[in-house]
Amino acid sequence: MSNLKQRTISKKFSVDGVGIHTGKKAIVEILPANPNEGILFFDKNHEEYPPVKARACNVVNSTRCTVLGNDKFSVSTVEHFMATIKSFGIDNLKIYIDAPEMPILDGSAKKWCELFLDAGIKEFEESVKMVDFTAPLYIESGNSSIVAIPSDKLKYTFVFDYPKTIVGTQIFTFTPSEDDFVKEVASARTFAFYEEIKPLLDSGLAKGGDLSNALIIKKDGYMSDLNFDNEPVRHKCLDLIGDIALCGFGFNAHIIAIRSGHKLNTKFASILEKKLML
């Protein structure tokens, strides 16, 4: 039996902003939920639609962001939100959104953290479902890979390299029990290379992206001041935390990701969900 108790928020709150890919304004209302309800997304425009549960089995797309959906509606770019609630140990919420994409805010999880801290946390008597790792679990795709190694505590390590760019090789390790998500990870912004922006726009993406919500990288430097010397890899760790949270339970393991993105992250979460769910 887990010693960790399930959590929700103490009071509801709302936030609005634009989606980085769609450019559409979204109003999001977040309400407390009961034990064992999980994280549920509702279409605010059609509340009769069944909710989408934040689980890996409901990932319908993972190109440049993580999209959850069912046969009625979908919601994209959930990873920063999911990373925040995972780090606050929140297991049960109802999220009502009136647009197809979560607001990007400043491109990081900083504002989400502020909102959840203001709302407060309510703890239940019911325990969090935990799964023990007894052997390593490994997946790869091309030159990207993720491995989970048995550990007495949860830990994330992200490794990537962008040769011949100012980013170079970056490595970052985050241990939630020892490090502060708000200080060490949350304010790391989504990033893109300057050369990628035009193709994204041409393909109908990044309509809501600008220097206020993304870190743009040119060949000779960054177009805005860094929040961390290694901000890009910290943001990749932020995405990893949010995507892996979709497995739907707690666990202790050292998750090591090398050059992974949303597609491999969510595939790994799906494997966890299918193989390790009790």
pLDDT in tens, the chain (278 residues): 468 999 999 999 999 999 988 889 999 999 999 999 999 999 999 989 999 999 999 999 999 899 999 999 999 999 999 999 999 999 999 999 999 999 999 999 999 999 999 999 999 999 998 888 889 999 999 999 999 999 999 999 999 999 888 999 999 999 998 899 999 999 999 998 887 776 765 666 666 667 777 898 888 889 889 999 999 999 999 999 999 999 999 999 999 999 999 999 999 999 999 876 64
Q: Where are the domains of the chain?
A: 5-129
Which among 53, 15, 9 has a CA at the least distance from the CA of 32? Answer: 9
What is the sign, positive or negative, of the torsion defined by CA atoms of 76, 237, 150, 88? negative
pLDDT in tens, 172-214: 999 998 899 999 999 999 998 887 776 765 666 666 667 777 8
Q: pTM here?
A: 0.94
Q: Are 37 and 51 in contact (CB under 8 A)?
A: no
Residue 135 exposed, middle or buried by CB count within 10 Å (0-12, 13-18, 19+): exposed
pLDDT of residue 211: 73
pLDDT at 133: 85
**Residue 254 is a catalytic residue:** no
pLDDT at 277: 61
pLDDT at site 198: 65
Give me the catalytic one of 21, 80, 235, 262: 262
Provide CB contacts within 8 A for 109, sequence distance 6+: 80, 81, 83, 84, 181, 185, 186, 187, 238
pLDDT at 254: 97
Q: pLDDT at position 278, please?
A: 46
CA distance 27 to 16: 4
> What superfamily would CATH give domain 5-129?
lpxc deacetylase, domain 1 (3.30.230.20)
